[in-house]
Structure 1
């Protein structure tokens, strides 16, 4: 047997061999890391110490046709938190820091932590969480008082991980005190889905920290306005602190959007709309025995020969500044609140209302091209019986046997009832025939009603032509609901009218009866239009038959003044009416201003020099007060005004429409002075403002076109 010494030496040799093997392996591994792969690892180590930070570009300006800024940029103090540095602090110190900075920016520590959370992480809240680079400081408050920012800058030892700096945010110069919120729109942070789509398509113009257009021209022309972000590569130490800049790729400012809006005209329009609504609310409605509610209103001013929108106002409205720096839940709830009038809804393009008697010129066109003539005479009686119901004139007035021109002047309902009823008898008395011919419906569609105008604003409403197809589709959609009401005994919450209506609708709600036809002929019933649709249609009468696509944008101009794109007027179609019919309607609408329902609002106005054609309307809506309308035009402009639950057409809206024309043409009493017109040359020229390299903007040259 081997001795103990021999066994000990054997063990020592084995251990020595193992140790040698380990050292040999370690040496080979070190040689591989430092010599063979050293260059690769040094490159990776260097890249880990460099971080890329996004530098947001300055967003492009939005200016009016004269070059006046409507939306600009201003400097704002922004407080941000570096999450890397914050995470290296003890928990108690983190809490104390968040409480300290939160007191200055009116945020609780819990709110700040929600803002610092990375979107997509467990517990993150969409719209609140951080969607940007993980290496970038997270903005927690914008537009903070300067004293708060200076305290952070002057006392860095008390504010570790907190950064105060100035950044650009949207500003609203409000020339002539204008609001224009529904046209301009607003911005809000990019969503996860939008950012993911941008990454998938290789779009580098947005990043996780971008703000994008959400409404108005800010959304429509966001691609031009947003610019291209820059990038800074900075070196950081192991604690994440910036040691210095490695390189920088400069960003590109956004382009300028030149609009067709004229701020001076817009100011007049907004003032007149607000004044009209205030006056209506102080005026007693003789029908209901209470003051008019006047819950909403809109005005559109458009060039008749191009479709360019010169002014567009809507009430209720909101302050676009409310979106700058982030909007609170309470503010957002107010903007969507029905009690507040749903301020986010732009009534000019999204509001839908019964057109009332402003509809009659289009019915005249349909009648004169389908069997009736300018020599036709019909009875303007005080009432017109359809079945067991008598449809009456306004205040039961009667004018005897008259033609279409006089019927438009005095806005005779029973005249047009007879026209609508005659077509229904000839072509559509079979209520089951959804394809029955209807010349009045077809004419309304020719004028663009029931479809979007194509204006360059998002969210436009299409209106509705309540023809046979629509009525049958609506009946199928609502049949079960109304049949359910009719099947139960009437309760205290259901009025007699609703209960009776439910029973009738359940059985025969699909039927397009004579009552539907006569209501359609005067713009009542279920047909609804937007103020913009009505303005475009009146523009087609004014210019001889062309339906223009309404347009806000006039051009895109680069920061150095180069014109990148011009938006020329675009025809969407033609109403295809004989010149004789258009001329006849034009003269009839001239008569409305000279002798008809609008005349009393145009007394002592120089109609020979400024020839206004007009049509008033008072649309009745079940359960509400009348909607006031005035639709009008000259050789140059179309002006349409609407006040929901505001009373009669000329009674409520007439004075404001007159004031707008006075501003457009420089009217003072019976004198017309083009030098005093709101727009130099009365109509803006096709030329654009001049953009100088020093940042100044000069108005366009040349007279109106």
Structure 2
């Protein structure tokens, strides 16, 4: 029994309770103070830190759809390559920021450490290429050309290469089946920019940083179809880049395939014949300059006459679009974009514009009939035509007496068209145009579709030029200041350029008689593109319908179940009556049988496959003449042009003949061998689609063009 009084025990308990109360109160006071410190005094700081915990995306790029020819042959598809990539997040976790790993990697890949480091650094306003402009949480590709041995070394020694992966990945391939390069038609890819991402944010096809998008050609036109939908895995990361969780992900979807109207066999032949025609032209001596023709560029278009679909389109000089795969280096980019290379990225079939020469004469022929002149009337074809003291000569000063408009087309008589155009110019008021001027020769050109885009499904088409009165005024306003400034040097400087500047300053707004007569034969300020003229001659063939030229034929979903056919779209009619069109058709057949193109079509089976043609030799100030050759049958329109190549039939004629021989299987004796024919009729049906969605491709067997019959008598 304890001797401690009851009051003593009670006091000790009281002290303990008070101590506990003080302790609890102190803890509460401390906690409250800490909460005040965190929420009030430093609340904004911690709120900012919390905001730095955010979601980052890791993208699995979609497999881009293929671009196929009309028979299902891949022109652009994907190739599995061994891609070595680096995780920047993992590298930055290392004490040396991954320098040691990248050093070891450089030895395995045979690349310099500097090159690898540059590829893994992030792009910004101060960082030049090469650098990575994608997400820092995305694996950064270092090379897509790793060998199997290199990939095995990296994977087997994973402890030496943390943050480095070597995986098979699909990358773009431009297959060039049967040597059909098709570069300018296909285009190329490059990484998306921040500006493009922002612009597409609210569209039906938003862009991701990992996306490669089409920059030209079909890759650009059908980019949203081809690109597909990338797979997205979202990670929540803190402000140090550490992954702290995973959020919702999205499954990717492969891109659709685009079937084109291009036939790879015809494309390969067109490219080959254009290149050969240019080489042959360089062997010929230009009688005006006494030096070989430069033949520095050219284009050829093979078009279905009844639909406007493009079967082949070649532009020279060309390039290998595979140079862009994986990123183009500075050396290759410079080679493709400098004056010395003559700009091979240009698709000269739709972007080169030049005076058309005599292939333009179908336009003033139609204009003359519309103005009231009789197609079968009698018109003097003298050796020259004079306006005041200025003499305009016929080609090689030839004279054919009085002829009708059909014969004027056949022999390409300049003086007939000089007089017709001059007479109409005078009727319209000459230098003082009437308010009700008919302007038949210019109005008809616009109705033929010149001076405007054809509507082809390829980007960056140019319009050419119809130099009518309104154009003269607009051009004068735009250039008056420069002309007048240069004209102040007159008469101290009497060179041709200063003389032109002086005339432009004083009278550049006026449509002169010499403007009108030069225009009538496709010269002067007149500019056209090859695709425009191919479209016009196709329209003459099909009865007068002008179609939007097209390359895309159908878009097919990855599983093959959804097929969106791209229909041929007409955009107008030639301003020509059926009777006049029939007469023009007969005259153009005469060009191929007894006119300026006859020597190129000797032995052609005209009774079975009627051929129609028009030659053109355009003069260009400061350059050698441009060769033009426009043709058509009931199935196709083929046009070729060679800059600084010489005459139409001389430079372009042989190549066009060989393309026709191959299409129809025409042999040297004028016989037709159906088994040798590449495409005697346009391809109408789409390639077969298998149950699994794959598109069946017909085999490519390069077919050499049949030997052409020996040329007959040469005419210009």
Do they fold alike, i.e. is TM over 0.5? yes
Tell me which residue corresponds to 1:359. 360
Tell me the secondary structure at the aligned position of residue 402 of structure 2.
strand
The residue number in structure 2 matching 1:413 is: 414
Deviation readout 1:186-243 (Å, 9 max, x if unpaired): 1100010111223344745x31111011111111001110111112457999997999
CA drift of 1:335 comes to 1.5
CA distance in 2, matches of 1:25, 1:541: 97
Q: How many angstroms apart in 2 are the aligned matches of 1:518 and 1:339?
A: 36
Q: Secondary structure, in 3 states, of the residue corresponding to 1:250? A: coil
Cα distance change on mapping 1:202 and 1:284 into 2, 3 Å: closer
Confirm or deny: 8 A CA contact 2:71 2:686 kept in the other structure: no
Aligned partners of 2:371 and 2:120: how far apart in 1?
Answer: 68
How far did 1:104 drift?
Answer: 5.4
Work out the CA distance in 1 between the residues paired with 2:516 and 2:18: 109
Q: What's the CA shift for 1:333? A: 1.9
CA distance in 1, matches of 2:110, 2:236: 33
Matched, 1:74 2:76: no
Alignment of 1:618-697 (within 5 A): 618-669=617-668, 670-679=670-679, 682-693=681-692, 695=694, 697=696
Distance 1:104 1:478, change over 3 A: farther
Report which stretch shifted further, 611-620 or 283-292: 283-292
User: More displaced, 357-366 or 496-505?
Assistant: 496-505
Quote the Cα distance in structure 2 between the aligned partners of 1:87 and 1:434: 76
Deviation at 1:166, TM superposition (A): 2.0
In 1: Cα distance, 2:622 partner to 2:142 partner: 48
- Secondary structure in 1 matching 2:553: strand
Confirm or deny that 1:148 pairs with 2:147: no
Task: Give the deviation of 1:406 after TM superposition.
Answer: 1.1
Q: How does 1:33-52 map to 2 (within 5 A)?
A: 52=57
1:587 CA displacement? 0.3
Is the 1:85–1:239 Cα contact (8 Å) retained in structure 2?
A: no
Segments of 5+ residues of structure 2 without an aligned counterpart are: 1-16, 37-48, 700-716
Q: Which position in structure 1 is the counterpart of 2:62?
A: 57
Report the counterpart of residue 116 of structure 1 in structure 2.
120
Cα drift, residue 696 of structure 1:
5.2
Question: RMSD over aligned Cα, in angstroms?
Answer: 3.1
- C-alpha distance in 2, partners of 1:66/1:590? 32
How many angstroms does 1:75 deviate by? 1.1
Q: How many Å separate the matches in 1 of 2:673 and 2:204?
A: 56
The structural deviation recorded for 1:534 is: 0.3
**Alpha-carbon distance between aligned partners in 1 of 2:560 and 2:467, rounded to the nearest angstrom:** 49
TM-score (norm. length: structure 2): 0.87
Determine helix, strand or coil for the equivalent of 1:684: coil
Report the counterpart of residue 331 of structure 1 in structure 2. 332
Task: Name the counterpart of 1:95.
Answer: 99
Q: Residues 503 and 17 of structure 1: is their aligned pair in 2 closer, same or farther, counting only changes over 3 Å?
A: farther
Q: Does the CA contact (< 8 Å) of 2:72 and 2:695 recur in 1?
A: no
1:29 Cα deviation after fit: 10
SS in 1 for 2:642: strand
Tell me the residue number matched to 1:39.
Answer: none
| Match of residue 315 from structure 1 | 316
Distance in 2 between residues matched to 1:431 and 1:31, nearest whole Å? 91
Distance 1:698 1:99, change over 3 A: closer
Pick closer, same or farther for the CA change 1:17–1:396 going to 2, 3 Å: farther
Shift in Å at residue 163 of structure 1?
Answer: 2.2
Alpha carbons of 1:236 and 1:195: their partners in 2 closer, same or farther (altered >3 Å)?
Answer: closer
Contact in 2 for aligned 1:84/1:239 (Cα 8 Å): no
* 1:507-526 CA distance string (max 9 Å, x none): 11111100000001000001
* Structure 2 residue aligned with 1:170: 172
Aligned 8 A contact 1:366 1:440 in 2: yes
Cα offset for 1:149? 3.1
Q: CA 1:246–1:424 in 2, change beyond 3 Å: closer, same or farther?
A: closer
Paired position in structure 1 for 2:12: none
Q: Against the structure 1 CA distance between its residues 692 and 620, is the aligned structure 2 distance closer, same or farther, given a 3 Å change threshold? A: farther
- What is the aligned residue count? 670
Please say if 1:570 is aligned against 2:575: no
Q: TM-score, normalised by structure 1?
A: 0.89
Structure 1 spans left out of the alignment, 5+ residues: 1-12, 33-43, 701-705
- Structure 1 residue 135 and structure 2 residue 134: aligned? no
Give the aligned partner of residue 257 of structure 2.
Answer: 256
**2:613–2:630: 8 Å Cα contact kept in structure 1?**
yes
Alignment CA distance shift 1:105-1:345 (3 Å): farther
Q: What is the rounded CA distance, in whole Å, between the counterparts of 2:584 and 2:546 in structure 1?
A: 16
Match of 2:188 in 1: 186
Change (3 A) 1:434 1:340: farther
